[in-house]
Amino acid sequence: MFPIKGESALLLAIVFGFVFGWLLQRGKVTNYNVIVNQFRFKDFTVLKVMFPAIIVGGIGVLVLTNMELAKWHVRDANMLATIIGAAIFGIGMVLYGYCPGTGVAAIGTGSIHALVGAAGMIFGAILYAFSFEWVRANILSVGKLGKVTLPQIMHVPAWTLYGALIVIAIALFAWVEKRGR
């Protein structure tokens, strides 16, 4: 029965996107102040959303793959491109005040500057397309590790890492909540 492909999947795309956008709005990560204040360590809402999403999502997907109901979708770790790209992304996210997903969602909440930044995103994508051949030859090709996961390179079971993440999350958020951030 699963996975569903073709036109039914297209309908589902709208439904899943709708749920995603709804959740982002309710979590207030569609708010510029909330995002920027995470990077100023004044408001930990972004991490409060991301940690549970990663832990709950990850443990569920691990169980589902063990039951052969889902497959892994691990992408290639092209280390130089990931590091440079993430560094540029971090600068852009703070200046924009959104990441691409929350930016699109923020437009729906009435944010005009999110819409302007979305035009910037289109511009950035055009720049990337025109520099793609150079990037592929000189950056994407450096430090290719393949589809590797932390359990593989650390030689630790996935369960141990999820357990460690739970401990880290509880400690971090206990600290954060105590300080009202």
Partner 1 sequence: MSQQQLHQSGGRLSGRWSPYIVGVGIGILSWVVFVVVAAPLGITTAIGQIAGGVVTPILGADTVAANAYWRTNAMKLDYGTLFLIGTFFGALASALISKTFKFESIPSVWQERFGSSKTRRFVVAFMGGALAMYGARMAGGCTSGNGISQSLQLAVVGWTFLAVMFVSGAITAAIVYRGSPSIQSGEK
Q: Does residue number 174 form part of the binding site for partner 1 (CB under 8 A)?
A: no
Q: Does residue number 171 form part of the binding site for partner 1 (CB under 8 A)?
A: no
Site for partner 1 in 32-91 (CB under 8 A): 32-34, 36-37, 39-43, 45, 48-58, 60-61, 64, 69-79, 81-91
Binding flags for partner 1, 84-123, as an x/- string (CB under 8 A) = xxxxxxxxxxxxxxxxxxxxxxxxxxxxxxx-xxxxxxxx
Q: Does residue number 148 form part of the binding site for partner 1 (CB under 8 A)?
A: yes
Distance of CA 154 to the CA centre of its chain: 22
Sign for the pseudo-dihedral over CA of 167, 41, 77, 144: negative
DSSP string, 5-57: -THHHHHHHHHHHHHHHHHHHHTTTT-HHHHHHHHTTS--HHHHHHHHHHHHH
Q: Does residue number 149 form part of the binding site for partner 1 (CB under 8 A)?
A: yes
Q: Does residue number 23 form part of the binding site for partner 1 (CB under 8 A)?
A: yes
User: Which CB atom, from 42 or from 175, has the smaller least distance to partner 1?
Assistant: 42
- Please state the closest distance from residue 15 (CB atom) to partner 1, in A: 7
Q: Does residue number 155 form part of the binding site for partner 1 (CB under 8 A)?
A: no
Distance, CA of 81 to CA of 83 (rounded, Å) = 6
Residues 6+ apart with CB under 8 A from 29: 35, 45, 46, 49, 102, 105
3-state secondary structure of 4: coil
Q: Does residue number 132 form part of the binding site for partner 1 (CB under 8 A)?
A: yes
Among 138, 142, 153, 163, binds partner 1 (CB under 8 A): 153
Q: Does residue number 144 form part of the binding site for partner 1 (CB under 8 A)?
A: no
- Please state the closest distance from residue 175 (CB atom) to partner 1, in A: 14
Structure tokens at 143: 């430090």
> How does DSSP classify residue 78?
B
Distance, CA of 23 to CA of 13 (rounded, Å) = 15
- Please state the closest distance from residue 11 (CB atom) to partner 1, in A: 8
Q: Does residue number 172 form part of the binding site for partner 1 (CB under 8 A)?
A: no
